[in-house]
Structure 1
Amino acid sequence: MRYWLMKSEPDEASIDHLAHAPKKTLPWTGVRNYQARNFMRDAMQVGDGVLFYHSSCPEPGIAGIAKVASAAYPDPTQFDAKSPYFDPKSTQETPRWLLVDVSFVKKTPLISLAELRAHEELADMQVLARGNRLSITPVTESQWRFITEHLAGK
């Protein structure tokens, strides 16, 4: 099993949206970074743990726990000319962008960036690295354990 931190803007898809979605599952649409896409395509597996992170908002941070609920498949927003995620170079035959479905596990008290930075055990988390803009980053088993056992249950 692997672990991931996945960022979403809460006005687009929040932990509450996920909790109230049909089957408590949402497609993780709109990823337009090759490295993040490759994580979904090559490394993510059904059942992997997800730290659901709210980004581009007044207080960014981990807002809940989820899990990967599907293998990667083509993101339909790349084909929709009305979507902000439309990609005219992508075709049904050769899609460029993928997504995975993510399922709700639980909502947590918001674990802010400042709180994450305050713990030496998390110093190497990619989300804390200067300049990190990736919407999906791997999380180590020890980081996952520390967050889920010490921070997410407060």
Structure 2
Amino acid sequence: MKNLSNQPCLIARGLALVGDAWTMLIMRDAHAGLTRFDDFRKSLGIAPTMLTGRLSSLTEEGLLEKRRYSERPPRDEYVLTEAGRDFLPVLFAIGAWGRKHRGGGEVTRFFDAETGTEIDPITIDRATGAPIGTRPIRIAEPGCAASPPDQQG
């Protein structure tokens, strides 16, 4: 498989870093306030070696920052960076898709901590205000100028 991180497609580049379930769940837990290795391990039931690898990747790629919270014994925590905080809408978009297409039975629900209302995310295009998925898309390869619909050949 080609190295996705070198692809011109930004979706491919993003998936190169966060394209597996463990990484996504670590990011979910980080947004829920978990910062310590043992807390991630207990929450996820993930093997320590796998967790170490995922945390290292997330740190190297700038989604998490490793901070020392104890010198004796040496212990680190993992806190969200700006890039990591910006990942929350991605998680909620996946969750909204899961609710629609994989829901049923008991599911985890997410609430706004200030208002107490359940979060019901939508993803919209900033330029048009239209919800993503309600209008056709076109993909322009690098070097191809995107043209308005009336100029497409």
TM-score (norm 1): 0.27
Bigger helix fraction: 2
Query: Which protein is richer in strand relative to its size?
Result: 1
TM-score by length of 2: 0.27
Please identify the structure whose Cα radius of gyration is greater. 2
Query: Which structure ranks higher in relative contact order (CA pairs < 8 Å, sequence separation ≥ 6)?
Result: 1
